[in-house]
Structure 1
């Protein structure tokens, strides 16, 4: 049974991906690097949730492709379903406009990923694959 529907954007630019560092005082997944995104509200379309979450967390607007998501991670133990869209273009300057959630946002190259503490065990492969598509 899935209790939490989540959405995330995997931002790519050049040979980098954008990650947000979750604050150490967060209840879920503290002190790890994560993709920007969040919960889908009851009755909300996942694409609209992604647009809302990215505006709330990064201050940017994205046009979410009508197809997709590009990846879905279902974690039955944690009872979550995470839908991830690749984001290659956006409007506005990326900024940490949710400092209560993240204490840092940063671009990482493929070589940096192995040394990071990430929010999900599938993220390293997902991030390397996304970077491989642009290299």
Structure 2
């Protein structure tokens, strides 16, 4: 079983969260997730992973300001440990179409109903408990 360490950002504006729909070419095709990706081991800290992946996938500049939490998920595909950062973002969204089908803003009640990858349902619940969504 593969282990992936993931850095991701909870990109929030007006109590809505930006989620990405995963491409049919990637693991968990068609599922939704926070924007982020796998760490480059021995090259960067997780905060930089989150910033780099968000830039690559959405063209947004993301500056992590707080480690929100980490979420572990084990299934038949992999064992993932997802580190979620809060932060500031800027820029215009332009998606990396080979990895992402679409990105969309969701309220808590909309997001919690989605088919979410990597155990991100718990992260979204926690963001709501903290009244960020």
**Pairwise TM-score range, normalised by the shorter structure:** 0.7 to 0.9
Matched-pair contact (CA < 8 Å) for 2:73–2:80: yes
* 1:90 Cα deviation after fit: 1.0
Q: Distance in 2 between matches of 1:110 and 1:76?
A: 24
- Please give the residue correspondences for 1:65-76 in structure 2 after superposition, counting only pairs within 5 Å: 65=65, 68-76=66-74
Is 1:134 matched with 2:132? yes
* 1:76 Cα deviation after fit: 5.0
Report the TM-score when normalising by structure 1.
0.82
Q: Distance in 1 between matches of 2:71 and 2:125?
A: 16
Q: 1:94 maps to what in 2?
A: 93
* 1:5 Cα deviation after fit: 1.2
Q: 1:116 to 1:63 in 2, by over 3 A?
A: same
Report the TM-score when normalising by structure 2.
0.84
Q: 1:40 maps to what in 2?
A: 39
- Which is strand-richer, 1 or 2? 2
Between Structure 1 and Structure 2, how many residues are aligned?
129
Is 1:7 matched with 2:7? yes
